[in-house]
Amino acid sequence: MKYTIKNDMYLDILNVLKSQNVNLPSKLKFWVRNTFRLVQIGLCELIYTTKNNLPLIAHEKIYECHIAGGHSGRDKTSAEICWHTAISYSIFINMCDVCQARRSFPKATSGKPIISIGFLTRLQVDLIDMRSMKHDGFNFIVHAKDHFTKFSWLFALPSKEAHHVTLHLRNIFYTFGTPKILQSDNGKEFVVNIILNLKLNWPDLIITNGRPRHPQSQGLVERANAVVQNMLGKWLETNKSLDWPQGLLQKKTPYEMFFGQLVRNDHDFWLKIHQQPINKTIIDEKDLPESLADNFN
């Protein structure tokens, strides 16, 4: 039994079940009436199979959910489709005595976990090798990640030499301050070279060289690297481009936790701007209607 179909077919089945006149073969109408039933849930009309009592879903709807999940795989696509149902299931299962009696609990991780108490307490730095996709002289990505907020910075590098990494880290430190601990799984010598390069222009700088290959922290930036590579690959495919340095501008980061406010992306404001009869690529503030100009005061 097929449970996903094209949207056009879905609409044809819906019209047949609603007894509307549709120009379809009699055999198809007979099959529809014997295979599906119409279910009214509030104002929504849904099609269910009569055999297994499962809802019918159009391919286009699944694809929309996949896009909404950021091409992030099965689980996030499923979450876009059935998030409310999943929550209901979890509540039901958690209240089931039989399930709870046989529930397995994860084993505690051995060793003392790393706890960061604030932003830039610990900054982890790692390199992603992009030499197989060299573009405009760039061969590596330096990935700096704050352990507390999980905020990431990504920069394209021509090589993995410490002075290239230092250049970008210095800009971060001048803007946000220096971390107490700088850590990298590339080894203590790699971090030492970075710190020494920073001290050339910042003699009084003091940064602790974090332990490399720490079992409680190693996985954080490595998992983040995998996410970066996965999302970057999808960006390249979607945009039909090989310019991966351009794709490093992140779409999503823990912005609110980092800056203490929501991202400045006023959708309603830009929608109103788009609806204005202003035939210009660049819009001057003086050309804005008074109702919109008040947003800046």
In a domain, 179, yes or no: yes
DSSP per residue, 220-252: HHHHHHHHHHHHHHHHHHHTT---TTGGGS-S-
SS3 170: helix
In a domain, 256, yes or no: no
Domain check: are 274 and 206 in the same one? no
User: Domain count of the chain?
Assistant: 3
Task: Give the distance from CA 285 to its chain's centroid.
Answer: 34
DSSP per residue, 5-63: E-HHHHHHHHHHHTT------HHHHHHHHHHEEEEEETTEEEEEETTT--B-EEHHHHH
Q: Which domain holds residue 15?
A: 4-59
pTM for this prediction:
0.51
Q: What is the pLDDT of residue 252?
A: 45
Distance (Å, rounded) from C-alpha 129 to C-alpha 157? 10
CATH code for position 144 = 3.30.420.10
Domain check: are 127 and 170 in the same one? yes
In a domain, 108, yes or no: no
Closest by CA to 176, choosing from 126, 218, 121, is 121
Average pLDDT, the chain: 75
Domain check: are 226 and 279 in the same one? no
Domain check: are 144 and 214 in the same one? yes
The two structure tokens encoding residue 41: 């849930």
In a domain, 162, yes or no: yes
Q: Per-residue pLDDT tens for 208-242?
A: 777 665 555 556 777 788 888 888 888 888 888 88
Q: Which of 1-10, 205-214, 227-236, 285-294 has the lowest mean pLDDT?
A: 205-214
